[in-house]
Amino acid sequence: MKLDVLLGLQWGDEGKGKIVDVLTPKYDVIARFQGGPNAGHTLEFNNIKHVLHTIPSGIFHPEKVNIIGNGVVIDPVIFRKEIESLKKYNLTFSNLYISKKAHFILPTHRMLDAASEAAKGVTKIGSTLKGIGPTYMDKTGRNGLRVGDILAPDFKQRYEFLKKKHIDILNQHDFTYDINEYEADWFEGIDTIRSFQLVDSEYMVNQFLNDKKSVLAEGAQGTMLDIDFGSYPFVTSSNTICAGASTGLGVAPNKFGEVMGIVKAYCTRVGSGPFPTELNDNTGEEMRKVGNEFGSTTGRPRRCGWLDLPALKYSIMINGVTQIILTKADVLSVFDTIKVCTSYKIEGKTTDQLPYDVNLPIEPIYKEFKGWKKDLTNATTLNELPKEFLDYISFIEHEVKVPITIVSVGPNRKQTIIR
Ligand code: GDP
Ligand code: IMO
Ligand code: MG
C-alpha cells in the first residue's frame, strides 16, 4: 500500500486532530512525523474534548497501531502528562510505539527557547516556548539526545554533557533560570518512556506498507510554518510539508499515495509573522469568538482573517495535495458577506505569488460572497447544505483545482460530511 499524508495547509490549527480521528477507522496505522508538543490536536466525541500534543490522533482506536516517528521531538514531561491524562479512558497504550531515532527536548532546551525569544525582543517568533527550535538545532548540529539513547548505560552522562553545553550558552544571556524541579519531572518522564515499545519505526512502517497495510501520516503545524517554505523566520523548526513525512518516517517518496490538505474556511495564525488577510476589527473579533480561536497548547488568542487563496495555492503546490478537507465553515455562518483573497497588491503590482521579503506590505484583493446565514452544524449530508455555501466550495475548488472531499461542520467526530 501507499502512505497517505494528512497535513495543514495554513498556519496550523486547521483541525488535523479531529480529521485524523475521523479517518482512523480507514487505516491500520497512524504515524506522527514531525513537530513536538508545540502541536495541540483537538478531538471531540462522547461529549469529551481531548487535546493531544505528542501522541498520534489515532490513539482512541486501540486496535490501530500509533507511531511517534523519528522526525518528532519529545518532551518526556509533557508526554508523561499526556499518558496520565488518558489513562482514565482505559487505554492500555499497547498499540503505541516510539521511534528510537526521535529526539528529546531537554529542560534546558526550553530555557534556551525562552532566552532566544527574550533576546529577539519585538522581533520574537511568538514560539510556544516548548523548546522546539533548540532541540532541532541540536539535532542538525549533531548534539541531540535520542529516545534510543535511554537504553545506553551512559545515558545520564550524555544528558549532563548536553545540559552543560546549554548552561554555558544560557550563562551568556542575561537570563535567570532554575531547572532543578523540572529536571526531576524530566527523569520521571524518561521512566515512563522506558515502559513503552521503542522501535526502529522506519522498518516497522515500511513492513506495514509491504504487507498491504494502510498507513496515515499525521502532520503537525501547517505549511506556512514550514522551516523552508513558511514565512521565515516566523516559522517552526521542522519540515511540516509532505516531504517531511518521508524524512520523518523513513518512507521513500515513491511510496506516497493521497496527500490530504486541511484548510480552515478562513485563516488563523498564533504567534508573529505576516498574515495578509488578518482582520484587526470587529469581524476578526467575531471569528475568534464564534470559532473559539484560542491556542490548544498555549491558550493564546489566535489572529483571524479571511481565506487566502494565493497562500493556499502555494501550499497545494509544495505538498502535491490531491484532496482538500475544509473545516470550520460553520463559523462563517454569522456573516452577511464572506470574503476570499484572490490575489495580492505588492508595491503597486497585482500578483498571486508570495513575496520573498516577509516585511513587504501586502494588500489583499478580495472577492465577496453572499453569506449563507444558516446553521451548518447539524448537517449530515451535502443536500442539507445551503446553496451559497456550496457555491463557496465550488469557487475554491475551481480556483485551486483540487477536489474538496470532506467538509467538517463542527468539532465533533460526527459533524463530518464526506462528499
Ligand atoms: P489542529 O492543531 O489542526 O489539530 O487543530 P486544533 O485542535 O488546534 O484547532 C482546531 C479547533 O477547531 C479545535 O478546537 C477543534 O475542536 C475545532 N474544530 C475542528 N473542526 C471544526 C469544525 O469544522 N467546526 C468547528 N466549529 N470547530 C472545529
Ligand atoms: P498544530 O499542530 C499553530 C507556531 C507558534 C509560533 C511558531 C514557532 O496544533 O497545528 P515553535 O513553538 O514551533 O517554536 O513556534 O509556530 N506554532 C503553531 N501554530 N499550531 C501549531 O501546531 C503550532 N506549532 C507552532 O505559535 O508562531
Ligand atoms: Mg493545534
Q: What is the Cα Rg of the chain in Å? A: 21
**Per residue in 309-368, pLDDT tens?**
999 999 999 999 999 999 999 999 999 999 999 999 999 999 999 999 988 999 999 999
Rounded Cα–Cα distance for residues 193 and 289 (Å): 38
For residue 106, which of 149, 64, 58 has the smallest C-alpha distance? Answer: 149
Q: Which residues contact 52 (CB under 8 A, 6 or more apart)?
A: 17, 39, 40, 41, 42, 43, 59, 82
pLDDT confidence of residue 19: 98
Residue 221 Cβ inside 6 Å of ligand 2? The answer reads yes
Beta bridge partners of 323: 260
**Per residue in 251-265, pLDDT tens?**
999 999 999 999 999
Residue 134 Cβ inside 6 Å of ligand 2? The answer reads no
Mutate to test the pocket of ligand 1, among 45, 216, 327 (most ligand atoms within 8 A of CB): 327
Lowest mean pLDDT segment, chosen from 7-11, 88-92, 256-260, 287-291: 88-92
**Per residue in 169-205, pLDDT tens?**
999 887 777 788 789 999 999 999 999 999 999 999 9
With a cut of 80, say whether residue 82 has pLDDT above it. yes
Rounded Cα–Cα distance for residues 242 and 33 (Å): 10
pLDDT confidence of residue 347: 95
- What average pLDDT does the segment 90-103 reach? 96
For residue 207, which of 29, 396, 63 has the smallest C-alpha distance? Answer: 29
- What average pLDDT does the segment 152-158 reach? 98
pLDDT confidence of residue 168: 93
* Residues recorded for the chain: 419
Mutate to test the pocket of ligand 1, among 51, 224, 328, 418 (most ligand atoms within 8 A of CB): 328
Rounded Cα–Cα distance for residues 20 and 32 (Å): 11
Rounded Cα–Cα distance for residues 287 and 375 (Å): 15
Q: How confident is the model at residue 232 (pLDDT cuts 50, 70, 90)?
A: very high
Longest dimension (CA), the chain: 66
Q: Can you read off the three cell numbers belonging to residue 90?
A: 482505559
Beta bridge partners of 104: 74
Q: Can you read off the three cell numbers belonging to residue 405?
A: 472531499
Q: Can you read off the three cell numbers belonging to residue 75?
A: 518532551
Percent of the chain with pLDDT over 70: 100
Q: How confident is the model at residue 101 (pLDDT cuts 50, 70, 90)?
A: very high
* Residue nearest (by alpha carbon) to ligand 1 atom 12: 15
